[in-house]
Amino acid sequence: MTEVRIVEDCAASAETAFAFVNDYRNLPKFWYGIESFTPVTEQTDGVGAKFDGKMKLGPASLTSRIEVIGWEAGRLIATRSIKGFEIVSTFRFLPKSPDLSTVDATIDYSVPGGIAGKMLGKTIEPFVKIAVKHTTDSLIREIAKAHSENS
């Protein structure tokens, strides 16, 4: 697996940051390459919620069914793929003050084995770096924006 880590302070409370990321409809506002992210269960947050996602990284289109496997209100959202492209993500929201928090996110992904997997890995590798930078910048900006609109 390849690990990508994002640790950034944002101008918002941990509760606001959590609420923003917890709303699946916000994912396209910050996650680079997301083409669709659709609930497949009536439950759209908390442990057990499931979503189908499609992401484009360069010339590669990746699909996954994601399940929420960890969830603590205001503190943690953890997901893993149960079908398709293998990805595990954990978002932690750490309060620093009423208007400042740290978002600590870890995203682990792996490509399938064999020649096709190696080719896919080489194809998406340069786009992953772009995606992480864009996602980090957008996430912090959009959380701060949501916080200022709710204040």
Secondary structure (3-state) at 12 = coil
Give the chain's count of helices (H) and strands (E).
3, 7
Q: What is the pLDDT of residue 116?
A: 66
* CATH fold of 2-150: Alpha-D-Glucose-1,6-Bisphosphate; Chain A, domain 4 (3.30.530)
Secondary structure (3-state) at 150 = helix
Model confidence over 16-45: pLDDT tens digits?
Answer: 999 999 999 999 999 888 999 999 999 999
Complete DSSP assignment for 19-69: HHHHSGGGHHHHSTTEEEEEESSS--SSTT-EEEEEEEETTEEEEEEEEEE
> What is residue 75's DSSP assignment?
T
Model confidence over 37-54: pLDDT tens digits?
Answer: 999 999 999 999 999 999
Q: How confident is residue 134, by pLDDT bands cut at 50, 70 and 90?
A: confident
